[in-house]
Chains A and B, each alone.
Chain A
Amino acid sequence: EDKVVQSPLSLVVHEGDTVTLNCSYEVTNFRSLLWYKQEKKAPTFLFMLTSSGIEKKSGRLSSILDKKELFSILNITATQTGDSAIYLCAVEAGGANNLFFGTGTRLTVIP
Chain B
Amino acid sequence: DTGVSQDPRHKITKRGQNVTFRCDPISEHNRLYWYRQTLGQGPEFLTYFQNEAQLEKSRLLSDRFSAERPKGSFSTLEIQRTEQGDSAMYLCASSLGPMNTEAFFGQGTRLTVV
Give me the interface of A with B, judged by CB distance under 8 Å.
4, 31-32, 34, 36, 40-45, 48, 50, 88, 90, 92, 96-104
Contact = CB atoms under 8 A, between A and B. Distances in A.
B105 A43 contact: yes
B65 interface: no
A48 B50 CA distance: 22
Given A48-B100, A98-B48, 5 more contacts: A42-B91, A45-B102, A97-B98, A99-B103, A104-B42
Interface string B84-114: 0000010100000011111111111000000
Interface residues of B, number: 27
B99 A45 contact: no
A52 B81 CA distance: 47
Interface of B: 4, 31, 33, 40-45, 48, 50, 55-56, 58, 89, 91, 98-108
A68 to B, nearest CB: 20
B42 A101 contact: yes
Contacts, number: 64
A31 B42 contact: no
Nearest to A98: B45
B31 A45 contact: no
Given A97-B56, A98-B99, A88 B42 contact: yes
Contact of A34 (B40, B50, B100, B104): B100
Candidate in A50, A99, A102 with the most chain B CB atoms within 10 angstroms:
A99
Given A97-B48, A98-B48, A101-B44, A41 B89 contact: yes
B45 A103 contact: no
Given A41-B108, A42-B91, A97 B99 contact: yes
Nearest to B41: A103
A61 to B, nearest CB: 16
Nearest to B89: A41
